[in-house]
Amino acid sequence: MEIQDVIKVDEHVNRPDDNSKEWTLIEKLVMDLQKEQRRTRRWGIFFRSLMFVYLFALLWLFRLPGESALDLANGQPYAAIVEVNGTIAADQDASADALITAIRRAFDSEDAVGLILRINSPGGSPVQAGYVYDEIKRLKQIRPDFPVYAVIVDLGASGAYYIAAAADEIYADKASLVGSIGVVGSSFGFPGLMDKLGVERRSYTAGEHKGFLDPFRPEREDEREFWESVLKVTHKQFIDQVKKGRGDRLVDNPDLFTGLIWSGEQALELGLIDGLASSSQVAREQLNTEEMVNFTVRPDPIEQMIGKLGTSVGAGIASMVMGQGVQLR
């Protein structure tokens, strides 16, 4: 029942003399409550409106940069940019699906005069990196006059360098970290701790070596040798692709494929890169354009907004609304 209704009901009830102090106090209290209700409603409307403005502003900020950049290019020749950021893995921004989608769009663009892979990644899955490498080589056969450059920003290591090796030329800053051409497969072993705690491990397998990576069982020498052989094969595949991409530009150095990582200046001396330059320099000096259009596939704005809020509840809401192994290091 609203306060106004209370007043109306009171009009039909015998009340004390209007001039009495008691009635004056009651009337004043009722009027103050009415004012407070109106004030509360106004502030509620204000804050709800402010929240809607905030949400729309976030959606606008998270719009796909490639679309607006294409509008700004206005039919002028430009360098297509695809960013390789973070860990290269199937469930990350730098997944093969996301990178290949962006790279194909760049190759299909008639106004793009070349592609720049802007890399800042420690590496990741050899499978994901291999997919991207192979796709770049395939697209180069279809459009051989479309140059591909890789520009390493802070870090271009392992699987990230694997992808860079598919480019016609690689550039970096003098302080960038480049290389780490190696493979790692690591875990932990707890059999001694289990014995001390008196914990019994029960694992049932079919196949003599099915549980050979189980950290709760003692390591066997034959299984360790087998796993190292798997890593060596993967390492050789990595080396072969780098050699295929870089050719005789690589310097004959025994440490080149040992997993070491070098600065940009050292990488230039070793033939791992072709020069020291930024993305804008490469666009200007190699592709003769000041314009750059970013083709990187971005997450859905709603998902990105919720992800930036960093709440598990928000992630759960997003899923309802919108309905690792060997690493190159």
- Residue-by-residue DSSP string for 247-305: GGGS---TTTTTT-EEEHHHHHHHTS-SEE--HHHHHHHTS--S-EEE-PPPPPHHHHH
Residue 304 has pLDDT above 60, yes or no: no
Residue 35 neighbours by CB under 8 Å, 6+ apart: none
**What is the structure's pLDDT at 75?**
73
CA distance 282 to 289: 9
Question: Per-residue confidence at 188, pLDDT binned at 50, 70, 90?
Answer: confident
Listing DSSP states for 217-234 in one string gives: SPPPHHHHHHHHHHHHHH
Three-state DSSP state, 215: coil
Arithmetic mean of pLDDT, 289-303: 82
- What pairs with residue 156 in β-bridges? 121, 178
**What is the structure's pLDDT at 24?**
75
Residue 329 neighbours by CB under 8 Å, 6+ apart: 122, 123, 157, 158, 180, 182, 183, 184, 259
Residue 97 neighbours by CB under 8 Å, 6+ apart: 90
CA 170 from centroid of its chain's CA atoms: 22
CA 77 from centroid of its chain's CA atoms: 28
Q: What is the DSSP letter of 200?
A: P
**What is the structure's pLDDT at 311?**
45
pLDDT in tens, 21-55: 777 777 777 777 777 777 777 777 777 777 777 67
pLDDT in tens, 239-284: 999 999 999 999 999 999 999 999 999 999 999 999 999 999 999 9
Arithmetic mean of pLDDT, 283-312: 76
280 neighbors 299 (Cβ within 8 angstroms): no
Residue 307 has pLDDT above 60, yes or no: no
**What is the structure's pLDDT at 17?**
53
- Backbone torsions φ then ψ of 242, nearest 5 degrees: -65, -45
CA distance 82 to 293: 9
pLDDT in tens, 95-144: 999 999 999 999 999 999 999 999 999 999 999 999 999 999 999 999 99
**What is the structure's pLDDT at 175?**
96
Pairing relation of β-strands 292-294 and 177-179? unpaired
**What is the structure's pLDDT at 39?**
77
**What is the structure's pLDDT at 226?**
83
Residue 228 neighbours by CB under 8 Å, 6+ apart: none
217 neighbors 201 (Cβ within 8 angstroms): yes
pTM of the model: 0.70
**What is the structure's pLDDT at 51?**
74
Q: If you average pLDDT over every residue of the chain, what do you get? A: 81
Please give the residue that has the higher pLDDT: either 10 or 221. Answer: 221
Q: How far is CA 112 from CA 16, 22, 324, in A?
A: 87, 83, 35
pLDDT in tens, 199-217: 777 777 787 777 677 777 7
Return the ∠ at Cα 173 (arms to 164 and 143), rounded to 5°.
35
**Residue whose C-alpha is closest to residue 176's, from 250, 81, 25, 279:** 279
